[in-house]
Structure 1
C-alpha cells in the first residue's frame, strides 16, 4: 500500500510538458523507492484528453481525493481554450478548492496558477507562473515572484513549462528525501535549476 497519492488533473488544451514532465518524475520516484502512486485524471469520465499540441492522452480515471494535486497550464492566451476555458468554466477551480479544503497539497505548473488563483488559494501567498500570465496574476491578490519553484507549504507553484520537472523533483525531495530526488534527477539527465523559494 502506498503512503502518498498524487493526481495530475488534465483538461482539453493542457500543455503536454506541464503534466507529463511531473508525471514522469513522480513515476521515476516511485521506482526509486518513494511510496507514491501517481495518476493522470480528469474532472469527468472521458476516454481521451487532447493537449495543446494535439497529444491525445488516456487518463487513468477521474479526480479523487489525492494527497497531492497538480494542475498544469496551457492555453491562457487563447479564448475558449485550455486554462482560460477552465477558469471561465469554474468547475476545475471549485474541484481544486474542494480537495485543498479536504487536506490536499495543491501545486500548479505554468499558467495552472490561474486556476489556483480562481480557487482562492493564492490570496496573500507568493506564487509563480509563466511570463504570459504574470500581469493577470499580479492583478489578483497573489504576491507574484519571479522564481522557478515556490513552496508555500500546502500550496506550490512553478513558473514556465519545464519548471514542472523541478517542481516534481522538489516534491520528491520534500516528501521522500534528497537521495530519491537526486537519483531521479540523474536518471533523467536533468540538472535542477534555481533554488526553491519559500
Structure 2
C-alpha cells in the first residue's frame, strides 16, 4: 500500500517520523514524501527532509499523513497549495490522516467534522467548524487524527490495526518497543503549569 507523507516548511519532525517508523515497518507499505517542490524541506526545529515527489506528481494514494507544526498559525496562512492538493487527493485515499496541528490543515480543506489535535490548537480547529475531541486518536469515517506530536505513533498503530489487523499492530509496537510511561495529558497537569505552557505555545505558533 502506498503511503504519502506530506512535507512543508516548519512541520514538526516527530509528527512525520513517528508515523513513518510505524507504517514503514509493515512490509507491504511503500512510502512517498511529497512537497510543493523537490527542494529540501526544513522542519520547525531544523531537521531537513528530502521530498521524493511533488504534490503534482501524486494524483492518488492509499494513505496520506499530514504532520503538524509548532508554528501552525503561520503555516495556515501559507498553506493554499497544500490545502488544494489535500482536497484533490482525498477522494482517492483509503485513509486520510493527520498528527497534531495537521488536523487544522484537514479542517481548512473541509475534510473532517470531528478531530483531535494538540491541546494548544483546539480553538483553531473549533473555529473551522470541527467538533474538537480530546481523545488521543479519533476516527471520523476514513479520516484519522492524532493529538499532539508523539500521538502520531499511537495514530499510526491504530491505523495499522484497522488496515492490517491486531497481530500486525502488536508486532510493530513491540518491534519499535513503544510503551509510553508514565501517561500524562494537558488536562491532568496543575493549572499554573498548563497556563504557562499555553502562553508559550500561543506566542511561538505565529
TM value normalised by structure 1: 0.84
Residue of structure 2 equivalent to 1:62: 54
Residue of structure 2 equivalent to 1:101: 91
Residue of structure 2 equivalent to 1:43: 36
Aligned length: 179
- Quick check: which has more Rg, 1 or 2? 2
Q: Secondary structure at the match of 1:180?
A: helix
Structure 1's unaligned 5+ residue stretches are: none
Residue of structure 2 equivalent to 1:128: 116
Distance 2:73 2:124 in 1: 14
Distance 2:157 2:72 in 1: 28
Distance 2:23 2:83 in 1: 23
TM value normalised by structure 2: 0.81
Residue of structure 2 equivalent to 1:160: 148
Q: Calculate the aligned-residue CA RMSD, in Å.
A: 1.8
Q: Secondary structure at the match of 2:168?
A: helix
Q: 2:137 aligns with which of 137, 149, 167?
A: 149
Structure 2's unaligned 5+ residue stretches are: 184-206
Distance 1:175 1:36 in 2: 11
Q: Secondary structure at the match of 2:38?
A: coil
Q: Which runs of 4+ in 1 moved over 4 A?
A: none
